[in-house]
Copies of this chain bind each other. A is one copy, B any other.
Amino acid sequence: MKTYLDCFPCFMRQALFAARISTDDVKLQRKVLDRVAEELKKFPLDATPVEMGERIHGIVKKVTGNIDPYREEKRKYNELGMKMLPELRKLVNEADDPLLMAIRIAIAGNIIDFGSLSEFDVGESLKQALSQDFAIFDYEKFKEVLEDAKEIMYIGDNAGEICFDRVLVEVLNNMKKKVYFITREEPVINDITIDDAEFCGLSEVANVMSSGSTAPGTIIKHTTSEFRQLFYEVPMIIAKGQGNYETLSDEKRPIFFLLKVKCPVVAKDIGAKNMDIVLKYNLS
C-alpha cells in the first residue's frame, strides 16, 4: 500500500504520542517532531506508511534514548491475553466452526494497537468480533488453500494480540499443520518480538522466528534471507494487522490478511470501513 497525504497529520500524531510515552521532557518531544517534520519532506509517497513509521520510531528512540517505551504496556496486554486464554479456547471448543471462531478471535485481538489507537477496549472488541459481519470474507478460499498447505507462515503483530493468535495457531496444530510464527526483530511501538512470543508460549505451538524487520510491519527488503526464503516457499501465509497489510499487500504471495480496520486510509485502500473486520486473500 502506498502512502497517502492523509497519513501526514497522522505521522505527526503518532510521533507526538510515542515521544510523550518515551519522555516527559517537552524539549525532547519538540525535537522529535522537528526531526519527523524534516523526514516528512523527504518521504516518497510510493513507500508504505510503515516505512515512515520505522523512521518515526527510530527518531523517538534516538532523541529520547528510550528504546522500548511500550515495554510496560506490552507486558500488561501479554498478561491480559494469557489470562483470557482459557476463555478464548472455550469459545473455540464450543463453536460450530472452531476454525472460523479462532479466526474471529485472532481478529478481535488486533484491537490492541498503539500505532493506530491511543485507547481501546479488548473485551468490547472480542464481543464485537464474535458477532460482527466481515466486510471482506475470503473464508472459502482460506479453507481451500489451508487444506493443501502443510506449512503455514503466521506473521504476528502486537503484544497481547499474540495470545489471541495462539488460539488460531492451536487450531492449525490440531489440523496437523506446521506453523512458523514470525515476530519483529526489535521493539517498535507495541509490536511483538521473540521475547513476547516466548512469554505467551508461542514457541510451544509454533517455530518462532524474527523477520528481521525493525519496522511496525514487514518491509521485505529489510528482512533476513532466512525469512525471505520461507516467505517465498510456504504455500500459505497469514498476516495480522494493518502494518503487515500496508507492507505486504503488493506481494504476489498467497497471503490472508486478518485485521480490524483502524484508520480511514487503510479502510479506503482495502475496500472497507473503519472498525470493520477483514479476512482478505491477496491473490483473489
Interface residues of A (CB under 8 A from B): 5-6, 8-13, 16, 26, 29-30, 33-34, 37-38, 40-41, 45
Additional A-B contact list (18), CB under 8 Å, known A9-B13, A12-B12: A5-B16, A5-B29, A5-B30, A5-B33, A6-B16, A8-B12, A8-B16, A8-B33, A9-B9, A9-B10, A11-B12, A30-B45, A33-B40, A34-B40, A34-B41, A37-B37, A37-B38, A37-B40
In Å, the complex CA distance between A33 and B41 comes to 8
In Å, the complex CA distance between A45 and B9 comes to 18
In the complex, what residue of chain B is closest to A12 when comparing beta carbons?
A: B9
Q: How many copies does the complex hold?
A: 2
A13 surroundings in chain B (CB, below 8 A)? 9
Q: A5-B16, A6-B16 are in contact. Are A37 and B26 (CB under 8 A)?
A: no
A26 engages B5 (CB within 8 Å): yes
A9 surroundings in chain B (CB, below 8 A)? 9-10, 12-13, 16
A-B contact pairs, 9 of them (CB 8 A): A5-B26, A5-B33, A6-B16, A8-B12, A8-B33, A9-B13, A9-B16, A12-B12, A34-B40
In the assembled complex, how far is the CB of residue A17 from the closest CB belonging to chain B, in whole angstroms?
9
A37 engages B30 (CB within 8 Å): no
In Å, the complex CA distance between A12 and B16 comes to 13
Q: Which of B5, B29, B30, B41 contacts A38 (CB 8 A)?
A: B41
Q: Across chains A and B, which 8 residue pairs bring their CB atoms closest together, nearest first? A: A9-B12, A9-B13, A37-B37, A34-B41, A37-B40, A9-B9, A37-B41, A8-B12
A38 surroundings in chain B (CB, below 8 A)? 37, 41
In the assembled complex, how far is the CB of residue A133 from the closest CB belonging to chain B, in whole angstroms?
27
In the assembled complex, how far is the CB of residue A195 from the closest CB belonging to chain B, in whole angstroms?
31
A34 surroundings in chain B (CB, below 8 A)? 40-41
In Å, the complex CA distance between A122 and B9 comes to 27
In the complex, what residue of chain B is closest to A29 when comparing beta carbons?
A: B5
A30 surroundings in chain B (CB, below 8 A)? 5, 45
A33 surroundings in chain B (CB, below 8 A)? 5, 8, 40
A37 surroundings in chain B (CB, below 8 A)? 37-38, 40-41
In Å, the complex CA distance between A33 and B3 comes to 14
**Residue among A11, A29, A34, A45 with most chain B CB within 10 A:** A34
In Å, the complex CA distance between A38 and B36 comes to 10
A12 surroundings in chain B (CB, below 8 A)? 8-9, 11-12
In the assembled complex, how far is the CB of residue A189 from the closest CB belonging to chain B, in whole angstroms?
17
A16 surroundings in chain B (CB, below 8 A)? 5-6, 8-9
In the assembled complex, how far is the CB of residue A239 from the closest CB belonging to chain B, in whole angstroms?
28
